[in-house]
Amino acid sequence: MALHRALDLTSELKKRGDAVTVLMTRGATKLVTPLHFQALSGRRVFHDVFAGAGDDVYDHLNPARDGDVLVCAPATADLIGRLAAGLADDMVTTTALAWTNRPKVLAPAMNWRMWAHPFVQRNVRTLTDAGWHLVGPAEGDLACGEQGPGRLAPVADILAAL
Ligand SMILES: Cc1cc2nc3c(=O)[nH]c(=O)nc-3n(C[C@H](O)[C@H](O)[C@H](O)COP(=O)(O)O)c2cc1C
């Protein structure tokens, strides 16, 4: 599953000496626990805009304050739609809106029929027109058992883009 590759990506980034702060959507937390990513990144994972920590309640802005590059991997059809619409309803979308003047990488992953849908293609175009750098998706076996374009790009490709 694409989300498991996000665990590998976190490990690889950490191994090569990068500081990694992981942000998760609500959907992502149903498939992998924030603790997984915390263990691999060695840092607090942001997954709830309203969580705050200590006196600091501005989590919706904090990760965007000092990062070098934002990567959304795997970017689901839902996340891509919310990003393209300019929504700010979770940690990933608030961070993306507050991420000014620095690179943003989008690595989509979804079923090939979802990827082919004109709404998804339109949303991806909106993001690339706005300066997001697209990596993948790759073509091949999908987690759902079907085949086609929609696999998350290999970790090596995402690392190269970063
Ligand atoms: C096991 C499983 C795997 C999923 N894989 C994907 C996927 O690769 N791409 C996708 O767009 N949606 C996938 N979905 C559906 C999303 O989880 C769902 O659309 C969710 O609302 C995504 O929202 P979020 O990424 O904004 O949290 C999957 C759902 C399940 C239960």
Q: What is the pLDDT of residue 56?
A: 85
Question: 144 catalytic, yes or no?
Answer: yes
Summarize pLDDT for 26-47 with one digit per residue, the tens.
999 999 999 999 999 999 999 9
Are β-strands 104-108 and 70-75 bridged in parallel, bridged antiparallel, or unpaired? parallel
Q: Which of 3, 76, 114 to mutate to test the pocket of ligand 1 (most atoms within 8 A of CB)?
A: 76
Annotated catalytic residue: which of 144, 146, 156, 160?
Answer: 144
Please report the domains of the chain, with CATH numbers, ordered by start residue: 2-161 (3.40.50.1950)
Summarize pLDDT for 78-94 with one digit per residue, the tens.
999 999 999 999 999 99
pTM score above 0.85:
yes
